[in-house]
Structure 1
Amino acid sequence: MGILSGNPQNEPMHYGEVFGVWTYLSGAKSLIAGYQTFINHAGDDDLRNFLQDSIQTKKQEITQVENLLKANGVGLPPAPPERPKADLESIPVGARFMDNEIATAVSRDISMGLVACSQIMGQSVREDIAAMFGQFHATKAQYGLRLLRIMKEKGWLVPPPLHMNAPELAYV
């Protein structure tokens, strides 16, 4: 039996785990405020519903991560205040985020979240932390697929140029 082979909750977190988990928590709290703002700007019902579901999922993640950090004596990052609800029509058209811009930004956030979860999983020594972020990763992958489908249905997806014909290579 090694020093880190017992109950994971009884093992200390190493500095990399603390930093990764704390940073993830800080980002998740900020994303909630951003998504609340996006809801105020979104005109599409499917996009608004997606954002609301994302916020609920992030709140559940935040609870789990805060409990982990508290149990390990780590101070929590501050959270931005909740955003008030606004009337879409009161936001001037030129100052409003467009639905396709919102979807693209959220798609980027999901991609970065997948990388963050993978990094935390890879550096974790504690199995419970790796498993928690594995769960978060799987959920993000599902949300990414859901958003991709919405973006395709709405015509918001702008793919990079398709590479149909590769040039022939000249051999010397």
Structure 2
Amino acid sequence: MTTFWDAIKSVLGSLLDEEPVPPLHVGEVMTLWTLLTIYEEGQVIYKIALNTTTDAELRHAVENAVHESLQDIEMVRDFLIKEGVPLPSVSAEKPDSESNQIPLGVKFTDDEIANLIIGKITACIALCGQGVSQGLRTDVTIILLRSMSRLLQFSAPYRSLMRKRGWIKPPPYYYPPGV
């Protein structure tokens, strides 16, 4: 069985070897293209959240999400451009607005914002994991792992905030038969 260090050595060796890099396969392109789309559309969601929320902790978490997401957008976008992959079209940027000027029936509640963002994070983590398992190129795998690690780092304190505010929506509990 391969040890952890053997696996690391293999990955590093594949980055340094002189073999020609194969073209991206359809799955790698689709994963990266979809990830970029989710990240860029996420910027619109984050802007709506910042325009809507008055919760200081949630605002701070969303501002962190904007910053982290911009780094991943740049990383994936640059890679796709370098590989000659057409970029997805995305929604136009939202203008700044004041929360108290948005009618209550129109704006998201803090609970809705938090669950929308955690849903996006969860989908991106799953997409990255799927892409890592299907990827053949080491550079693609590294991009996906880097992106996944940022998402995991961001999600831990975000989940704590959601628990503290009562915003987590757990599925029904499972009770085995006979319990």
Shorter-chain TM-score category? Answer: 0.7 to 0.9
Q: Tell me which of 78, 84, 87 is aligned to 1:76.
A: 87
Q: Over aligned residues, Cα RMSD in angstroms? A: 2.0
Unaligned runs of 5+ in 2: 1-13
* 3-state secondary structure, aligned to 2:105: helix
Q: What is the distance in 2 between the residues matched to 1:93 and 1:158?
A: 22
AA partner of residue 65 (structure 1):
V
Aligned twin of 1:13: 24
Q: Where does residue 140 of structure 1 map in the other structure?
A: 151
Q: In structure 1, which of residues 52, 56, 61 is the aligned counterpart of residue 72 of structure 2?
A: 61
Alignment match, 1:151? 162
Shift of 1:7: 5.4
Scaled by the length of structure 2, the TM-score of the pair is 0.83
User: Residue by residue, what CA displacement relative to the aligned partner does 1:70-128 show, whole Å, maximum 9, x if unpaired?
Assistant: 11111111232221111000011222211011111111111111111111111111011
If the length of structure 1 is used for normalisation, what is the TM-score?
Answer: 0.86
SS at match of 2:42: helix
Distance 2:171 2:31 in 1: 32
Post-superposition offset of 1:17? 0.8
Identity score, percent: 28
Q: CA deviation at 1:156?
A: 2.1
**Structure 1: which 5+ runs fail to align?**
none
Count residues with an aligned counterpart: 164
**In structure 1, what is the Cα distance between the partners aligned to 2:137 and 2:125?**
19
